[in-house]
Structure 1
Amino acid sequence: MPLPARGETDINAQLDAGLIQVDGTVDYALSDPERQAIHELYALYDQLLGEPNPRLDMEALSACNDALHNAYDQVQKGGRLKSMRGSLLRAVRECPLCGAAPATTLDHHLPRAQYKSLAINPRNLVPSCQPCNRAKGTVVPSAGQGMVHAYFQALPTATFLRATSSYIDGALAISFYIDDTVVPSPLHERLTFQLTRLNLDERLVDSINIMLFTLKPSLEMFRGLANERAQIQEYLRGAARSYNKDFAWNHWRSAVVLSLSECDAFLDDPWTYLDKPLILTEALEEDVG
């Protein structure tokens, strides 16, 4: 399901906050035709579901493009549009792109540098974590690439995020993919691009380890039982159903535990992995330019 679109306020009030300083100094005085054109632009953006289109480059806004681009600075912490920022970030409990980290930044779905007039349109501002924001960069959605729009993209209510598990000598490796039997083109190509662009196979390693070690106390109940393997398999399947319910369909947690429920090597001996100390990779500081 798409995210609920939050952060919308009265468009004129939002424009005033972005373009007029607290002391009344006007950074840019919008004309009435420009205000009307911005209203039309935002409506067109919704109509196009956030997809790039030459119609979004309105000649009527050519004079105020730079001012709107620069007004995004007021969306940052402490800026005059901080309330909009807070509303957008509070709408999610985790980054909608990776599902593994808090959303602490706002990403321009259509890049700010190329779509200046949309710089403070809340529908173009997607909550994200810093690593996802950095990895996504300024890519523009097109055929076979780009991020799906968190506010507009309707996704199948079926399991399409899958994972494969490699388990050798207690070493576990998880790789994600999009099931092309469930998701048709071109959505499959875009989701696959997003998965690769965000490098989730590597970035989710620590999150996967933490999740599985969190499950260990429950799995311990089955250790040594005659039907240990069957009990662990059923528990993992139940966990997948629970994650689908609690974290929304096609969350990476569901894909991981479902994959392990089908991994014979893991089911035969999960303890070689689970009895090791939990060791996390060194976290790298991320910053968004």
Structure 2
Amino acid sequence: MAFLCSSLPSSSSIAIFGDPNTDGSSRSYLSIPSLKLRFRPVAASSHICAPAIDKSTFVISESVSEDELWAAACLRVRTFNELNPSAYNIQDHRRYLAEREFEALKERTSGKREGFTRVACINATLPLSQLSSSFEDLCSACKFSDGIEDRVVVGSLDLNQCRWLPDEIAGTKPEGIGVDFARAYLSNVCVAKELHRNGVGYKLIDKSKRVAGEWDNEAAKSLYMKSGFEQETAEPAWQARYLNRPQRLLLWLALPTSPIMSM
């Protein structure tokens, strides 16, 4: 599974390709098994003191409700737009931008956007109780209820399974059969400025790698099933998560035996 990341503000833009080989160039590469990350420098962000947050309360997951999608859309408007808070009718303009992003998110994640096999909105959230009154603007804009408690979306990205992202650099790896399901792109990567330096961006990208691995595994399983294989067993899901890789499956196929010809 290959990735291309775009829209990573106040940090570095990261391109991730499913190619385990380094190219020996002088550019800065960080190699990990079956992935290569290339960092393209952008303007450095100003120093922001990280608040004291109980990191065990972070939840990194795919969005499952429209309320959470709306909160994610609001965070993106807040992150990607330099808006003057004292400008005339600014709140109406923010809502207009959020509504546009919300409708686009719903279209993509529901599978209605042409050219996308599937899209997942992956969010980092915190309980509202974890955020002090100094986070009032973030909480009011990006709060939602998960049915149990009020939470706040503090980081977000889109994981897109497609051949290429519109208006972006088109990837070329991996090549060959199955590239439609073997390539994924990250986009709209953002973290609330109040939560910088809490590892939120890393958590989002790590989750997206695991989801993409599951997608890749599902597509490969479908290919085998269509070829006549049957699933016999699978390794425990906890073991795959612990080893940070897709769950392994044991498939089997009965082959016809050739009759022994008598002389």
TM-score, normalised to structure 2, is 0.23
Relative contact order higher in (CA < 8 Å, ≥ 6 apart): 2
Which protein is richer in helix relative to its size?
1
TM-score, normalised to structure 1, is 0.22
Structure ID, larger Rg: 1
